[in-house]
Chains A and B, each alone.
Chain A
Amino acid sequence: MNYVQTSPEPQLAPTPVRSPRGFGTLINGGANLLATLVLVAALEQALPHLMAWAVTHGVWQGSAGTCRHAGACWLFLREKAPFILFGIYPETQMWRPIAVVTVLAALTLWTMPRAHWTRWTLGAWGAGLMLVLVLMAGGIAGLAPVPVSSWGGLPVTLLLTVLSLALGFPLGLALALGRRSPLPLIRYGATGFVEVLRGVPVVTLLFAASFLAPLLFPETVRLENLTRALGVFTLVSAAYLCEVLRGGLQGVAHGQWESAQALGLRYRDVLLVVILPQAIRKVLPPLTSTIIVVIKNTSLVVVVGLFDLVSAGRVVLNDPAWPMPYAETYLMVALVYFVICYGVACYSRHLEKSLAESRR
């Protein structure tokens, strides 16, 4: 028996790395060439139709009749954009929802640079939200009161998003701490709450809220449709945020707790100053996708008859004077959501990069 290898092991040549980048990949290799040809053929078929619909035969001016037997009816959007964006808010008061959207956008833009992450910014958000609610509702400072049932469009979408995130975050943090608690009763309670909220569809919860609210509260309490929806979205956002924050808390080494306590910090300071900043940094990507989920979820209020962007678009289409330009309308609504959600996603990517650099 021969245990000693006498001949050298045959050397396999390493496979050559062949992955040209850039435009060379369009034609190198059979599969790539085929993909290019198929895609070019498909685009060549589709693009002219799309161009004809959107541009050549698109209607930009004229009257409702011009849109029949023509391409895209952009005129419709021009006429109906105020309604889609701001709903049935009284026309004379239209500056108020516009101001609300401006205030929220300005606050968001102001908060973006990391240098602005201070207590003052948090205070500004609090004050801004109060201002926004006063602007929408009126009734004081000489503003005509506008009932909640007349709110609509983009302000409702933005308010639902911002308020449900703002109210849901502390609740989500409490739930995350509860799920990590060493006390079994609290842990089971938090776990059950979160799992039920995550397992049941939001649409079902919205229906449940609108059907059950009269049963769960005394007759004297009449909850607005918007309040009920906000309650549901707050609980759902809390459940989603809980899971994200729990992941982040798990990622912070236990030694951080111990050393912070050894320094004599109180529990609150340990959590807010030491642990939470590290935890949030770890879960930025899932945190952003949760925020995007919350923004998109607000569109579900269409099922309980609330007047957000989507419902407004849906209502506007029922105008019999126009030939139902649903594609244009929904494209516009989708574009508004896309700008917001894609903006959030891009910002998070930028933030991740800058945080990774500053850690070094």
Chain B
Amino acid sequence: MQRSKPSRDMLRWWLPQALFALVFMAFIAVMVGMVEHNLSVRGMALDFGFLGSTARFPLSETIVPYSPSATFARALLAGLGNTVVLALVVIVLSTLLGVPLALARRSGHPLAGGVACSFIDAVRNTPLVVQLLFWYGVLTVGLPPPGKSLQPIPGIFLNDRGLYLTSFGITGTALPLLLVAVGGLVAVAVLAWRGRLHQASLVTLATVIAAAVLWVSLGLGVAPDVPHLDRYNFIGGWSFTPEFAAVVVGSVLYASGFVAEIIRAGIAAVPCGQWDACRAMGLSDRQSLRLVIVPQALRVMVPPMTSQFASILKNSTLALLVGYPDLNSVANTTMNHTGHALECVVLVAFVYLILAAAISLGMGLLERRSARWAR
């Protein structure tokens, strides 16, 4: 009688797990058998060797150098480069846009609040697909040809071939300045990471002064490179294709609505009593925001921000719709050219999982560091 109880517990512990393992393995076995059978019918085999053969398809724009004579592996790498750049640009810009949107919505200023509120509701409640197609239409069909480019701000040109910005080059030998700037930046980053914010700000000041002194003593100057109309199109400056511009504009506007709501919720999560306590202590509005409210709000914001950044990464796959070659669309082309669908899917899914893990790892580090700053 005494022994029956533990053995029943053992049964309840092992039986479901054994069943689960059995079903799982049977499922895998059936899947593998099916895939093998279907592949042999088609006269194919699982083989990653195709990655080494020549791709023979062009990609319209890549960060990683690429030409159609390169391999499929190189093409996928170029796609990965585009995905990473796109995701980073959208993460940074949407955060920068999200902060003022959140503040405007909280401000109690009826006009600013109303504009921010309707913008946020509009972008959050319509699919990104529709927004991207809309912006791509605006940037290709809606804009004038290069000869009649729009110039919303002097030095910025917008036409149906893309977006052209004035770039600035430094004239003269700028190497010492570059060294000082990079050195200062690294020092500030290290100090800030260690939580020594006061020293970091001192180093920032010192770097700026040193850079200014160097600038004057080396006799450096600035040469703006204004884009100008060649025979058919603009040359010079920084140029962006309509595809890249559309996917960035669409994704940034979409994501900034979500970022703004996360920031607003983070600030709202700090109890009102904290504001009252700050006022009672005689802190100014700015001081209480900086010392009391923001550190607490940041802690609330980090987890939803992490999943927001992950969904920005995942949404970058929609670049396909406007023809910007990201990892997913390059993989799609590769599948069509080689027929090695399973290999491509596994590879791409794995890469996206790693990128998502990298985002949550980075945000986790930031969270732990920000807890230290808040102290």
| A residues adjacent to B (C-beta < 8 A) | 12-15, 17, 19, 21-23, 25-26, 32, 35-36, 39-40, 183-186, 189, 195-196, 199-204, 207-208, 211-212, 214-219, 292, 296-297, 299-300, 302-303, 310, 313-314, 324, 326-327, 330-331, 333-334, 337-338, 341-342, 345
Contact = CB atoms under 8 A, between A and B. Distances in A.
Contact of A207 (B134, B285, B328): B328
B17 A14 contact: no
A28 to B, nearest CB: 10
B108 A19 contact: yes
A15 B141 contact: no
Nearest to A309: B130
A212 B342 contact: yes
Interface in B310-365: 310, 313-318, 320-321, 328, 331-332, 335, 341-342, 344-345, 348-349, 352-353, 356-357
Contacts of B142: 326-327
A337 B134 CA distance: 14
A80 B115 CA distance: 32
Contacts, number: 176
Interface residues of B, number: 67
A182 to B, nearest CB: 8
A327 B128 CA distance: 15
Contact of B34 (A217, A297, A327, A341): A217
Contact of A208 (B314, B320, B349): B349
A204 B348 contact: yes
15 contacts: A15-B285, A36-B112, A183-B17, A185-B17, A196-B353, A199-B353, A200-B314, A201-B328, A203-B320, A219-B38, A296-B126, A299-B129, A300-B318, A310-B133, A326-B142
B21 A185 contact: yes
B357 to A, nearest CB: 7
Given A21-B108, A212-B345, 8 more contacts: A35-B109, A39-B115, A183-B17, A202-B314, A204-B345, A310-B133, A326-B141, A327-B138
Nearest to A208: B345
A76 B267 CA distance: 45
Interface stretch (B196-204, B235-243, B276-284, B294-302): B276-284
Contact of B131 (A23, A200, A334): A334
Given A14-B279, A186-B17, A199-B353, A26 B110 contact: yes
A14 B279 CA distance: 5
B352 A201 contact: yes
Given A36-B111, A211-B335, A341-B125, A303 B341 contact: no
A302 B125 contact: no
Contact of A342 (B121, B285, B348): B121
A178 B28 CA distance: 19
Given A186-B16, A216-B31, A15 B283 contact: yes
Nearest to B304: A286
B178 interface: no
B35 interface: yes
A12 B112 CA distance: 33
Interface in B17-64: 17, 20-21, 24, 31, 34-35, 37-39, 41
A208 B112 CA distance: 44
A337 B335 contact: no
Nearest to B282: A12
Contacts of B332: 207
A185 B16 CA distance: 9
B137 interface: yes
**Residue of B16, B107, B130, B310 with highest tally of chain A CB at under 10 A:** B130
B273 interface: no
Contact of B341 (A200, A215, A314, A341): A215
A326 B109 contact: no
B114 to A, nearest CB: 9
Interface string B93-123: 0000000000010011111100100000110
A295 B143 CA distance: 31
A207 B125 contact: no
A326 B137 contact: yes
Nearest to B112: A35
A333 B134 CA distance: 10
B38 A15 contact: no
B335 A189 contact: no
Nearest to B313: A201
A232 to B, nearest CB: 12
B125 A345 contact: yes
A211 B130 contact: no
B127 interface: yes
Contacts of A313: 130, 133
Given A186-B16, A215-B39, A17 B110 contact: no
**Residue of A184, A216, A330 with highest tally of chain B CB at under 10 A:** A330
A302 B35 contact: no
Contacts of B130: 299, 310, 313, 330, 333-334, 337
B13 interface: yes
The 10 residue pairs across chains A and B that have the minimum distance between CB atoms: A12-B282, A326-B137, A211-B341, A299-B127, A341-B125, A201-B314, A203-B317, A185-B17, A296-B127, A330-B134
A161 B39 CA distance: 33
B133 A22 contact: no
A180 to B, nearest CB: 14
Nearest to A331: B134
A299 B35 CA distance: 30
A233 B26 CA distance: 25
Nearest to A11: B282
Contacts of B349: 196, 200, 204, 208
B150 to A, nearest CB: 13
Contact of B129 (A300, A326, A331, A341): A300
